[in-house]
Structure 1
């Protein structure tokens, strides 16, 4: 199985709730979609940046989405006692059952 490990820190200057983090996740996902749309010219605007610059912007937006998702996992662990490690194992098992992983 080919994996990529990405470790993102627990943010320590915020006290996010499940609701505020979910809303932030949607906001960040919207910014990612907007960056992709601009790169593909879907907004009707002429693309005024190089492909490399556009892809770097998309990657930065993707990292914002990932950070917010990780923050939501910390919230679920800290406030609701959810065992993310256990659920991650279940998630990988589900992917194997569906044939996405061998």
Structure 2
């Protein structure tokens, strides 16, 4: 099986804290939920979008969530000296042990 990965950059010009980054993740997850809610008609709105527009909006919000989570990993690495590469390897091992890889 071919393994695909997504790599996101470390953002510059920001001074995030653990708390501010968590709040940003929550905000981005809320925006993702909003888009999916509109797509499923759960928001009560009658706004209709073409499926490809909805999927692109979902992907855009999902990437915002992923980028913010990635930023949080850099914050933890900087503040607490965690070796994120080592933690990623442990995470991948855990996934393999569970049969996900």
TM-score, normalisation: structure 1? 0.91
Q: Which runs of 5+ in 1 are unaligned?
A: none
Q: Which runs of 5+ in 2 are unaligned?
A: none
| Distance in structure 2 (CA, Å) of the matches to 1:59 and 1:45 | 21
Task: State the match for 2:36 in structure 1.
Answer: 36
Greater Cα offset, 20-29 or 45-54: 45-54
| Distance in structure 1 (CA, Å) of the matches to 2:64 and 2:95 | 25
Q: Count how many residue pairs are aligned between Structure 1 and Structure 2.
A: 101
Q: Runs of at least 4 residues of structure 1 off by over 6 A?
A: none
CA RMSD of aligned residues (A): 1.2
1:94 aligns with 2:94: yes
Equivalent residues in 2 for 1:17-28 (5 A)?
Answer: 17-28=17-28
Task: State the match for 2:58 in structure 1.
Answer: 58
Task: State the match for 1:71 in structure 2.
Answer: 71
